[in-house]
Structures are given as structure tokens and as C-alpha cells.
Structure 1
């Protein structure tokens, strides 16, 4: 009988299993899909060039991910950032440099003040009353009050909505503050994105390496539909062990049948925590032609998706389109040819007629993925965090929880998934007297 079972072979599950295996435990990882990597997903173009259809960036502040990449010799490169960025709307196309698009002076001042207030809220210890108030309103409500200038508010809604992968009218203000705090402030999140690197051979490379180390302990195509906690052990599928770590997104974890049933708070949490919406598409060209125009390949469309240059050194030109929240939902209502045509029209507006005929096209709608059902993360609507949020990480009997949503640092990032898996593994090691303490500190 194995010592522990891990449900899910994303970065949280694999890093939990790796931590337990290092401590000498016998571990089984059960993965519903036919691959490892979770919310990372690397496709291959002709010539073997990698295309990351899921999470792809690694920043210097992502220390656990950096250490993991180094351990497995996963090569990275600095993404192309030279040249002008673009700000698009239905009526305009503007080039700019710097982290934020240019606004009229009064709008810039109002936006800077609002960002300062967000940082202050994230750095403070909130009273119960303050937390309940922030949890009772949406991000959209807060922005309407703090950003009366339409240009500044529209930009903030686009940027924050993209960060949360959800319409700002759907997510709690306390949830935004919690996310900012987990990324070391507004500046920390911006710095992580502007200094981020990409993986030469795909962001799921370290995950593949961990899975190879674990060998037969990783069982693919094994959906978990029920977990039974007998008091002395847990039974998952046809496997029995002392403990189980569930690392799949909370809404999917809520679909598992538990015996005995989950406590009310945990059950209500998973019912009230939907997944965000994310769609990623790559247009492939013979070269990154936009660089010759003095463009970075980065564009923010206030009415649609964002675009990035994801070209590998020496490889074809890759324009990565990332649609989140309402933009993703609008695109996913279209059939595949119409969706592609819509995105290409946006690329033509940004980069000219050479964008009209990509050599190849890859896309992934994460809401269609049966073992994710959205992206990047599950989010907290108003009222959830202060009422049942404490159930997010609290073990239930012999069942422990991990996944990027449960991270206290870098939640919503691969870094957060890694940290959450290691934290849950440490919980298992501490709760069973026969298990040794982990050799690597958290």
C-alpha cells in the first residue's frame, strides 16, 4: 500500500509527489488526462518549435520555479521587449513605450493614485469589518468610485480583468487585494511580467522531467470520481493509502464524491468558486516581421485580447493572443473559423497586412478542457472569502488540498502551484508520525 496518493499531475501534484518521494514515501499520482503539466500545455510546430498553450512565463521572483527549472536544465530565454507597444481600441491605434499606455495627465494622476491605494490596502492588516466591506463589493464598483476618469477606469478594468481572467464586475475586491498581496504588491506583479522569461522547449518541461523521475507512480487516464476516508486510510479509485492530496481546481474537486461528505463550508466553497475564462491562440509566421517595424509585438486591445511576441530564438515568428474574461467568452461563442478570422483581423489592425496569412495556427480554449473547465484560476465572487474562504486550505480528515488557488504566494501562477504542492506535502509529513520531516524547508 502506498503512503500517499496525489490527485492531479499538474505542477502542484507533481511537486507534492516529488517532495514526498524525497522524504522516502511511496507515492501514487492519479491524473485524469493523457498528459502531465496541468494548466501548462506545450504543443509542437513543424521543426519541433514549442508553443505554450497554457502558462508559459517564469520571472526572477518565482524562486521555486526557477530552482526547479535549474534542477532539470530547462533552458529559458528573455522574451523580445524592444520597440514600441500598441494600445488598440475600436477607433484607434497608438504606439507607446513603458509599462502603461499614455493617458492625459489628469487621467494618469488618477490612475497612479488608485494603484497606490491598492498597494496600501494590500500591505495593511485588515480588520474584520474592513475585510467584510471589501468582500461585499466588486472590483468594478471600487474602480467606479476611485477612477471617475473614463480613460483611466477603462484601462484599469482591462489590465486587472486580464490579471484575474474574469470580468471585474464578477470578482470580489477582497479577492483582488489578496491576489496583489500574494504577488508582493502591484509593482511586484508588474515587475514579474516585465522581467519574465519563457522556456525554450516549453513550460511543461520540468513537469515532464518530474513525471519521468516518478515513473510508474504516475498513472494517466485515471479520473478520480470518489474518495473514501475510512478514518484509518483513504481509498481513491483502486488505491488505498494513509493520506491523499487533491490538487485539481476547486470547482472540479467539488465534483468528486466524498465519503463521508465534505463539511458544509468546504462544499459551499467549491460550489461558489467558478473558473475564470481564458483562450490562447498562436499565429505562426516565417519571421517576427513586426520587429522590423520597431514594434515589440505586445499589444493591449481595450475591446479584445492582448498580444505578445512569443518567438523562440532562431525560430518562426509567433504572435501569442491571450483573451480572458469577457473577451474570451465572446470568442468562444464563435465557431473555429470565425474565431480565427476575428483574431487575425485584430492582428492586422495591429501589425498590418503581413499578419493576414499565418503559416500555422494553434489555439486552446481552457473552458473546453474537461479537466480544467477554465483558466487561469478559479476566482472569488463577493461574499465568498469572508464566509467560507477558510476552507480553501484546511485539511478534512486525511484529505489535503493544493493547487495554485490555495497558494499564499503567487496564487494564479505556476510558482504558486509549486509552492502549494510542497506545502501540502509538508502537511502530510507532519501529520503522520511514521513519516520523516522533509529535507528541504518551505
Structure 2
């Protein structure tokens, strides 16, 4: 009988299994799909070039991800950022430099003040009353109160909505503040985004290497529908083990049948959290032609997806679009042909007629993925964190929880998933040590 069964072979599950095996424990990893990597997914172009249809970035502060990259010789490169960025509307394209597009002076001043207030909130130690008030307020409401200028508010809604992968009217201010804190603060999070690197051979490379190292311990095509905690062991699918680590997003973990039933706070948490919406596409061109026009490849469309240059060194030109929240919901309601045509029209507005004819096209609708049901991660609607948020990481009997949503740092990133898996593994190691070496009273 293995010591631990891990549910899910994304980065959280694989890193938990890696740490458990290093501690001398026998582990089995059960994965519902036919691949490892979770919410990372690498596709291949002609010539073998990689495109990341899921999570992909690694920032300087992502120390655990960087350690894995070094351990498995996963090369990275700095993406192209030189040149002007674009601000797109339904009918026009405007070039700008810097992180945010230029606004009228009054709008700029109002936006700067709102960001200053947000930064102060993330640094403040909140009282229970303050936390409850922020948890009862949506991000959209907070922005409306502090950004009366529509241009500034629309920009803030677009940027924060893309970061959270959800409509800002659906997520609480306390959840936003918690996420910003977990990224080291507002400025640190912004710097991490702009200084991020990409993996030459795909962001799921280290995950595939860990799985190869674990060998037969990783079982693909094995959905978990029930978990029975007997009090002395756990039964998961056809595996009996001393303990289990569940790495699925809370909404999906809640679909598993548990015996005995989960405590009410944990059950309510999984019912009240929801997955964000994410759609990712790649338009492939012979060359990154926009660079010759002095463009960075970064475009912010206030009505649609964000675009950036994801081209590998010496490879074909790749314009990647990320649609999150309302933009993703709109696009995923279209047929694949309509969706492609809509996105290409946006690319043409920004990059001219050469963008109309990509030589290849890839897309991933994460809301349709049966074992993801959205992305980048699950979010906290108003009232959830302060009422049942304490159940997010708390073990239930012999069941422990991991996954990016449970991370205390870098929630929604691969880095957060890695840290969560290692944290859950440490919980199991400590619990098993106590069980095997009970303290005998004097």
C-alpha cells in the first residue's frame, strides 16, 4: 500500500509527489486526463516550435519554478518588449510607450490616486471589520467610487479583469488585495509581469520531466470520483493509501464524493467559489513582421483580448491573445470560425493587413476543458473569504489540499501551484512522522 495518493498531475500534484518521494514515502499520482501539466499545455508547430496554450510565464521572483527549471535544464528566454505598445478600440489603434496608455491629465491623476489607495490597502494590517467590509465590496464597486472618470475606470477594469480572469463585478476587494499581497505588492506584481521570461520548449517541460522521474507512479486517464477516509487510511479510485493530497481547483474538488461528507465550511467553500474564464489563441506568421514597424507586439483591447509577442528566438512570428472574464465568455459563445475571424480583425486593426493571413492557428478554450472548466484559477466572490475562507488549506482527516488557489504566494501562477504542492507534502510528512513516532508521556 502506498503512503500517499495524489489527485492531479499538474504542477501542484507532481511537486507534492516529488517532495514526498525525496522524503522516502511511496506515492501514487492519479490524473484524469491523458497528459501531465494541469493548466499548462504545450502545442507544437511545424519545425517543432513550442506554443504555450496554458500558463507560461516565469518571473524573477518565481524562485521555486526557477529551481525546477535549473534541475531539469529547461531553457528560458526573455520575450520581445522593445517598441511601441498599442491601445485598440472598435475602430482605431493608438501607439504608446510605457506600461499604461496615455490618458487625459485629469484621468491620469484620478487613476494614480486610486492606485495609490489600492497600494496602501495591500500594505495595511486589516481589522476584522475592515476585512469584512472589503470582502462585501466588489472590485467594480470600489473602482466606481474612486474612479469617476470613465476612461480611467474602463482601463482599470480591463487590466484588473485580465489579471483576475473574471468580471470585476464578481470578485471581492479582499480577494484582490490578498492576491496582490501574495505577489509581493502592487509594484512587485507589476514588475514581475513585465520582467517575465518564457520557456523555449514549453512551460510544461519541467512537469513532464518530473512525471518521467516518477515513472509508473503517475497513472493517466484515471478520474477520481470518490474518496473514502476510513480514519486509518483513504480509498481513492482503486488505491488505498495512508493519506491523500487533492490538488484540483476547489470547484472541481467539490464534485468528488467524500465519505464521510466534508465539514460544512469546506463544502460551502467549494460550492461558492467559481472558475474564471480564459481563452488563449496563437496566430502564427512566417516572421514577427510587427517588429520592423517599431511595435512590441503588446496590445490592449478594452473591448477584447490582450495581445503580446510570444515568438521564440529565430522562430516564426507568434501573436498570442489572452481573453479573460467577459471577453472570454463573449468569444467562446461564437463558433470557432467566428472566433478566429473576430480575433484576426482585432489583430489587423493593430498590426495592419499582414496580420490577416496567419500561416497557422492554435487555440485553447479552458472553460470547455472537462477537468479544468476555466482559468486561470478559481476566484472568491464577495463574502466567501471572511466566512469560509479558513477551510481552503485546512486538512480534513487524512485529506490534504493543494493547488494554485491554496497558495499563500503567487495565487493563479505556476509558482503558486508548486509552492502549494510542496506545502501539502510537508504537512503529510509531518503528520506521518507523528503517527509513526507517537510521543509517549512520562
Is 1:149 the counterpart of 2:149 in the alignment? yes
Counterpart position of 2:86: 86
SS in 1 for 2:367: helix
Counterpart position of 1:314: 314
> Under a length normalisation based on structure 1, what TM-score does the superposition of the two structures give?
0.98
Q: Distance in 2 between matches of 1:391 and 1:64?
A: 25
Counterpart position of 2:200: 200
- 1:396-440 Cα offsets, whole Å, 9 max, x none, are 000000000000000010000000000000000111127899xxx
Report matched runs for 1:394-409 at 5 Å. 394-409=394-409
How far residue 99 of structure 1 moved from its aligned partner, in angstroms, is 1.1
Counterpart position of 2:341: 341
Misfit runs of 4+, over 4 Å: 434-437
In structure 2, the CA distance between the partners of 1:133 and 1:222, relative to structure 1 (3 Å rule), is same
Counterpart position of 2:169: 169
Counterpart position of 1:26: 26
How far residue 58 of structure 1 moved from its aligned partner, in angstroms, is 0.4
Q: Distance in 1 between matches of 2:194 and 2:309?
A: 13
How far residue 91 of structure 1 moved from its aligned partner, in angstroms, is 3.6
Counterpart position of 1:248: 248
Is residue 23–residue 436 contact of structure 1 (8 Å, CA) maintained in 2? Answer: no
Q: Distance in 2 between matches of 1:142 and 1:305?
A: 23
Report matched runs for 1:356-371 at 5 Å. 356-371=356-371
Counterpart position of 2:59: 59
Higher deviation after alignment, 101-110 or 142-151 = 101-110
- 1:318-367 Cα offsets, whole Å, 9 max, x none, are 00010000000000000000000000000000100000010000000000
Counterpart position of 2:379: 379
- 1:98-137 Cα offsets, whole Å, 9 max, x none, are 1111111221111111111111111111101000000111
- Over the residues paired in the alignment, what is the CA RMSD in angstroms? 1.1
Q: Distance in 2 between matches of 1:140 and 1:322?
A: 21
Q: Distance in 1 between matches of 2:410 and 2:308?
A: 22
Q: Distance in 1 between matches of 2:224 and 2:238?
A: 10
Report matched runs for 1:127-276 at 5 Å. 127-276=127-276
Q: Distance in 1 between matches of 2:197 and 2:108?
A: 29
- 1:20-55 Cα offsets, whole Å, 9 max, x none, are 010011000000000000000000011000010000
Q: Distance in 2 between matches of 1:360 and 1:371?
A: 27
SS in 2 for 1:110: helix
Is residue 92–residue 349 contact of structure 2 (8 Å, CA) maintained in 1? Answer: no
Which structure 2 segments of 5+ residues have no match?
438-442
In structure 2, the CA distance between the partners of 1:426 and 1:420, relative to structure 1 (3 Å rule), is same
Is residue 307–residue 321 contact of structure 2 (8 Å, CA) maintained in 1? Answer: yes
> Under a length normalisation based on structure 2, what TM-score does the superposition of the two structures give?
0.98
- 1:246-277 Cα offsets, whole Å, 9 max, x none, are 00111100000000000011011000100000
Counterpart position of 2:303: 303
Q: Distance in 2 between matches of 1:92 and 1:389?
A: 44
